[in-house]
Amino acid sequence: MSASLLQATGMFGGYGGLDILNGVDLAVDAGEIVVIVGPNGAGKSTAMKAVFGLLHVREGRVSLGGEDITNKPPEQLVPRGMAYVPQESNVFPNLTVHENLEMGAFVRRDDFSGVLEQMYDLFPPLKDKRKQPAGELSGGQRQMVAIGRALMVEPKLLLLDEPTAGLSPLFMQEIFERIIAVNDTGVGILMVEQNARQALEIAHKGYVLAVGRNRFTDTGANLLANREVAESFLGGTGEG
């Protein structure tokens, strides 16, 4: 197939014998922002978990940089350049901000002090809080710690599960800006988002999933302009 960074084809799988994914295809090229949107229960987060080895893929294939990674556990995927930020409980609350970032680099045996400094440059609000337990931070700052933690391995592909869930519009905007900044450094991003409209605006490519299947695949702009997508999945008609 193509030389995509991440290539998932025909993924079937679910929890306890019941399939949630009914043949999902996903592809992320190097340096792309790809967004998965869709109604609740469409299998968005599940598809991402399947890619990251957190859900058994019963049928289908996942590859990273041409290498088969189907059903490989996270501890083997992180060293291969893939990092994942869960939607909830995505920081170690009793560890300091600094320790959280260090943990992100657990799989690295080289000197990563330069990357640590980069994280503080990327997320300036964390600089003053580096000695503070991550559990004491605000939602937006916690999200920064979570993304920073994942970036510590300098991944080729970053998976984000609803990074703006539960954040105020102000913080949401800030997180989206950071995501673009991360992407500007060449990191490919696959993101599930509830705030579909804003996410598609920054996406190079978008997938619309419904009942565990691909419904639409197009550029972010085209999906936003697509009347059917807007009516059925973006909660409004036409451009908002």
Task: Name the minimum Å distance from CB 73 to another protein.
Answer: 8
User: Of the candidates 235, 209, 196, 162, which has an alpha carbon nearest to the alpha carbon of residue 41?
Assistant: 209
| Tokens 């990273």, located at residue | 64
Q: How far is the CB of 79 from another protein (least distance, A)?
A: 7
Task: Classify the C-alpha dihedral 165-20-196-238 as positive or negative.
Answer: negative
The contact set with another protein (CB under 8 A) reads 52, 54, 73-75, 77-79, 84, 86, 89-95, 99, 102-104, 106-107, 149-150, 153
- Any residues with CB less than 8 A from the CB of 140 and at least 6 apart, and which? 167, 168, 170, 171, 174, 175
What minimum distance in Å lies between the beta carbon of 78 and another protein? Answer: 3
Do the Cβ atoms of 140 and 167 come closer than 8 Å?
Answer: yes
Nearer to another protein, 24 or 134 (CB): 134
Rank residues 40 and 89 by Cβ distance to another protein and give the closer one: 89
Q: Which residue has the tokens 């997320």?
A: 123
Comparing CB distances to another protein, the nearer of 10 and 93 is 93
Which C-beta is closer to another protein: that of 123 or that of 233? 123
